[in-house]
């Protein structure tokens, strides 16, 4: 499997996410917004990725990731999420502190290191934010989950992931006492603005906005 530069891996990972797992085309402007750069810079990178046959790019028609590109993107995502598990479980990082460190570590080019890291962590299936970790073959174990905002009054479930993994949102989660693995029950939903009241672990009541509730994913029970 070919090696990409760190910048190329970052772009490929962004294209994979924007394409919903390689299921649709992505525009240059969307990539520029995601990478916080100018469309002209994106075009130059797309040319390089096209030459390496990890994307197909036609001007005005958007970008499609190739099967080889998808495989490489999932490899980078796998490394990132395994490093996040390591940082939280073994080095006692908080879950809002790991993203930037993992962004650096994900570019280490050593398949053997990642195999041994996976084994050392006892083959985790999900990262600290609840996102699935692709296995060494690129397979991803998905599980049905819905935003808390879509649950009905008196429905119960377990928080399994967050859609927003920004440090600010994760610190908010810590502040209100909502965490991955917490049991929740919908106590009330406000018709006016969609805000919700939830009961956490059968002991703590929390009010949250619809925006917050839509970024917390749960498995119903």
- CATH of residue 181: 2.30.30.90
Check pLDDT > 90 for residue 81.
yes
Residues of the chain with pLDDT > 70, as a percent, come to 100
Task: Give the model confidence (pLDDT) of 89-115 as tens digits.
Answer: 999 999 999 999 999 999 999 999 999
Helix (H, G, I), strand (E, B) or coil at 169: helix
Q: Are residues 168 and 200 in the same domain?
A: yes
Structure tokens at 34: 């995601």
Q: Are residues 48 and 136 in the same domain?
A: yes
Look up residue 134 and give its DSSP letter. P
Neighbours of 167 (CB within 10 A): 14
Check pLDDT > 90 for residue 219.
yes
Range of the domain at 203: 146-220
Domain limit, last residue, from 140, 171, 190: 140
Q: How many domains does the chain have?
A: 2
User: In terms of DSSP bridges, do strands 216-220 and 156-162 run parallel, antiparallel, or are they unpaired?
Assistant: antiparallel
The model's confidence at residue 2, banded by pLDDT at 50, 70 and 90, is confident
pLDDT for 1 equals 60
The model carries a pTM of 0.89
We report the CATH number of the domain holding residue 124 as 1.10.10.10
The model's confidence at residue 21, banded by pLDDT at 50, 70 and 90, is confident
Task: Give the model confidence (pLDDT) of 127-148 as tens digits.
Answer: 999 999 999 999 988 788 999 9
Q: Is 16 left (phi over 0), alpha (psi -120 to 50) or beta?
A: alpha
Q: Are residues 119 and 174 in the same domain?
A: no
CA angle 194, 199, 201 (to 5 degrees): 145
Q: Are residues 22 and 84 in the same domain?
A: yes
């Amino acid at each position: 499997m070919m090696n990409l530069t760190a910048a190329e891996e970052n772009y490929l990972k962004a294209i994979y996410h924007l394409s919903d797992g390689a299921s649709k085309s992505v525009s240059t402007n969307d990539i520029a917004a995601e990478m916080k750069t100018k469309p002209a810079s994106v075009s130059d990178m797309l040319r390089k990725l096209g030459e390496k046959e990890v994307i197909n790019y036609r001007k005005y028609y958007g970008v499609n990731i190739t099967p080889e590109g998808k495989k490489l993107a999932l490899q980078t995502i796998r490394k990132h999420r395994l490093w996040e598990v390591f940082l939280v479980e073994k080095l006692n990082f908080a879950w809002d502190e790991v993203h930037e460190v993992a962004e650096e570590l994900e570019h280490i080019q050593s398949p053997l290191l990642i195999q041994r890291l996976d084994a050392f962590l006892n083959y985790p299936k999900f990262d600290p934010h609840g996102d699935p970790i692709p296995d060494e073959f690129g397979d991803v174990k998905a599980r049905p989950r819905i935003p808390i905002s879509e649950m009905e009054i008196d429905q119960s479930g377990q928080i399994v992931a967050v859609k927003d993994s920004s440090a600010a949102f994760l610190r908010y989660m810590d502040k209100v006492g909502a965490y991955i693995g917490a049991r929740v029950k919908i106590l009330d939903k406000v018709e006016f603005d969609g805000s919700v009241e939830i009961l956490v672990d059968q002991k703590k009541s929390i009010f949250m906005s619809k925006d917050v509730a839509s970024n917390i994913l749960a498995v119903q029970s």
